[in-house]
Amino acid sequence: MISQNLQNAINGQIAAEMWSANLYLSMSYYFEAKGYTGFASWMKVQASEENEHADMLAQYVMKRGGKASVSAIEAVPQEWSSPLEVFEHVYKHECHVSELIDKLVDVASTDKDKASQDFLWSFVREQVEEEATAQGIVDKIKLGGEAALYHLDQKLGERK
């Protein structure tokens, strides 16, 4: 049985994951409007992954005898000044999500819920990859400048 404390914390994370999905979908629309179809495609995949995370968390809560809930999701940004600004935002956001996941692990630890700790560690490991990927894209844009955007747009568009 999941504790009420951890259930509430995970339900908060479900909302955060859904907000992240909306953020990435908004970024995909921004890129599509600017003609960066590869970046747009990459962001749509990212949005889909965030929705999957929300569902995984909800399924976990229910398997542990809790009640998953979906709360209101605040509006996300709609505009950025450049692809670099978008990916810098992605990196900062992924760092924020890492902090949120770390706090969930802390709640599970405080509740002495080892099964939940194990489950949440998979999210921690994935967040390390998410941060590294976003930072790598930012670094490539900074290194290559405008000339790198065409190549990166093509490369990121390959993600399925």
Sign, CA dihedral 102-75-20-83, equals negative
What is d(CA 102, CA 82) in angstroms, rounded to the nearest whole number?
A: 31
Q: Which two tokens stand for residue 160?
A: 């399925």
> Closest by alpha carbon to 138, among 157, 158, 156, 159?
156
What is d(CA 38, CA 137) in angstroms, rounded to the nearest whole number?
A: 13
Q: Which two tokens stand for residue 94?
A: 């992924």
Give whole-number Cα distances, 125 to 17, 35, 109, 136, in Å.
16, 33, 17, 17
Domain ranges of the chain: 4-72+80-156
pLDDT, tens digit, 9 for 90 and up, residues 96-134: 999 999 999 999 999 999 999 999 999 999 999 999 999
- Is pLDDT of 160 > 80? no
Give one word for 148, left, alpha or beta, with left for phi > 0 and alpha for psi -120 to 50: alpha
pTM, two decimals, is: 0.94
pLDDT, tens digit, 9 for 90 and up, residues 30-43: 999 999 999 999 99
Architecture of domain 4-72+80-156: Up-down Bundle (1.20)
